[in-house]
Amino acid sequence: MLKTYFVFIFFISSLSNHAFAADGKAIHDEKCLSCHQTEVYTRTDHKVTSLYGLGRQVSMCSQNLNTGWFPEDEKSVVKYLNDTFYHLKK
Ligand code: HEC
């Protein structure tokens, strides 16, 4: 009986970790501000010039950092960065 209860709790908490899209800003701010601040995205000579490039860069930094992010997490960070800083159309 107790065991069933724990399995149930585990099930619920794994749902809440992965079933909903992560909050891009929250996970970005948690992991991504140790090497650079957000100025790196807005400096005049910033490197990222396409959504494709943004995706690659987020992926690269995320892997270097061993974030353990899922592809959906990376996507929500890309969306947050693009909506907030880059405003790239493609
Ligand atoms: C280990 C250090 C480090 C961490 C942590 C880090 N980055 Fe970076 N990031 C860099 C470096 C170095 C550059 C390149 C800066 C340059 O070229 O001057 C960079 C550049 C970038 C750029 C490109 C900026 C531009 O020029 O347009 C993006 C986007 C970016 N990082 C996203 C992220 C994200 C998202 C995370 C969190 C997963 C993250 N970074 C965490 C080191 C890091």
Query: Which pLDDT score is estimated for 42?
Result: 96
Inside any domain, residue 79: yes
Domain total for the chain?
Answer: 1
What CATH number has the domain bearing residue 53? 1.10.760
Residue 88 Cα to ligand 1 midpoint, Å, equals 17
Q: Which atom of ligand 1 is nearest to the CA of 34?
A: 5
**Would the CB of 18 count as within 6 Å of ligand 1?**
no
Inside any domain, residue 61: yes
Q: Which atom of ligand 1 is nearest to the CA of 45?
A: 26
Structure-model confidence comparison of residues 9 and 23, the more confident one: 23
**Would the CB of 46 count as within 6 Å of ligand 1?**
yes
Is the pLDDT at 85 greater than 70? The verdict is yes
Q: How do residues 35-51 score in pLDDT, each as one tens digit?
A: 999 999 999 999 999 99
Between helix 71-81 and helix 24-31 the angle, nearest 10°, is 90
Q: In the chain, what percentage of residues exceed pLDDT 90?
A: 76
Query: Which pLDDT score is estimated for 22?
Result: 82
Query: Which pLDDT score is estimated for 13?
Result: 54
Write the burial class of residue 38 (CB in 10 Å: 0-12 exposed, 13-18 middle, 19+ buried).
middle
Candidates 18, 40, 47; CA nearest to 84 is 40
